[in-house]
Amino acid sequence: MGAIDAQGHGDRMALAGAGGVHLHPSTVPTFALALHERATNASKHGALAQASGQLQVGWRLLGTAKGARPRIGWSETGVRMPAPGKTAQGSGYGRELIERVLTYRLQAETAYVLWTDAVRCTNELPVSESMRLEGDDS
């Protein structure tokens, strides 16, 4: 995300989240690839490619029946989407990576929504042997 900020988009980006979640090294490449794909799409086609676009990335820990789960939210607003039929809206490699690979490799739960002026994606990742919460000695 620092590379995007270095391109002069810092005033249209907001990053916010709690500390204390550590990814296991085997988890990092897959998750980093998904974040890179989202950032690239935002820069080329989405919020950061359009003057009125805004990008918000946030994360927090949720307590669920499945245990503690980090939830990562990606939201692009002020985005003019192409008219239906002009392009395959949101159906490319990046979306497949986010929806299928994260689910398969990381057991993530993913929601991906396209509106006429926004893109929203959330991922919930399990805390398992591949992740731990800060202060957890197990």
Compute the residue count for the chain: 138
Average pLDDT, the chain: 79
In the predicted structure, residue 88 carries a pLDDT above the cut 60: no
Average pLDDT over residues 54-82: 85
Q: Would you tell me which CATH number, out of the four given (3.30.565.10, 2.160.10.10, 3.40.50.1220, 3.10.100.10), belongs to the domain 11-133?
A: 3.30.565.10
Average pLDDT over residues 97-103: 85
In the predicted structure, residue 136 carries a pLDDT above the cut 60: no
* The pairing of beta strand 118-124 with beta strand 67-77: antiparallel
Q: What percent of the chain has pLDDT over 70?
A: 72
Average pLDDT over residues 44-60: 93
Query: What is the C-alpha separation between 29 and 121, in angstroms, rounded?
Result: 19
Contacts of 19 (CB under 8 A, 6+ apart): 134
Question: Which own/partner contact pairs does 85-93 have at CB distance under 8 Å and 24+ positions apart?
Answer: 89/114, 90/114, 90/119, 93/37
